[in-house]
Amino acid sequence: MYDFHPSPGASKTQHYDELVAAADALTAGESDGVANMANVAALLSGWLHSLNWAGFYRRQGDVLVLGPFVGRPACIRIPIGQGVCGTAAAQAGTQIVPDVHAFPGHIACDGDTRSELVVPVMRGGEVIAVIDLDSPLPARFDDEDAGGVERLAALLSERI
């Protein structure tokens, strides 16, 4: 049985250290990428506060296709370069969006989302997926959150 929980009173850096360690424990030795994404989406949803969506979009050619997630139903296909996820994939760079309504071309899958963090998962210099976190709170994510999720993405790059 897996029963992962963040340590009470941990700093944000320690919080992400523990999250990455838990994801490592869940995905080590498992070759099925979908299973690994599903477990990590569940881990993210339970580990991080104030989220209304946590999951993956997988790159298939010129589009991102919905992968495992926790949250309300979501957009299935996002063209590379469109919306926050598509921009992260096109630029191969993390996107921290304090107010999604101010992001040009934002794709609203859930009207309750106010802020978003999207981190590309890279393998061999190519974006293979993105990790997408949405929050109903404005400005929920900061550089420390981005750094923690980037470490998670690096871990997952050969496991999804």
pLDDT along the chain (160 residues), means of 10: 81 94 96 98 95 98 98 95 97 97 80 94 98 97 98 98
Q: Return the pLDDT at 1.
A: 53
- Domain 12-156 is of which CATH architecture? 2-Layer Sandwich (3.30)
Terminal Cα-to-Cα distance of the chain (whole angstroms): 22
pLDDT, residue 107, reads 77
DSSP type of residue 100 = G
Question: What pLDDT does residue 106 have?
Answer: 75
What pLDDT shows up at residue 108? 74
Q: How far from chain centre, in Å, is Cα 132?
A: 3
**Residue 56: per-residue pLDDT:** 98
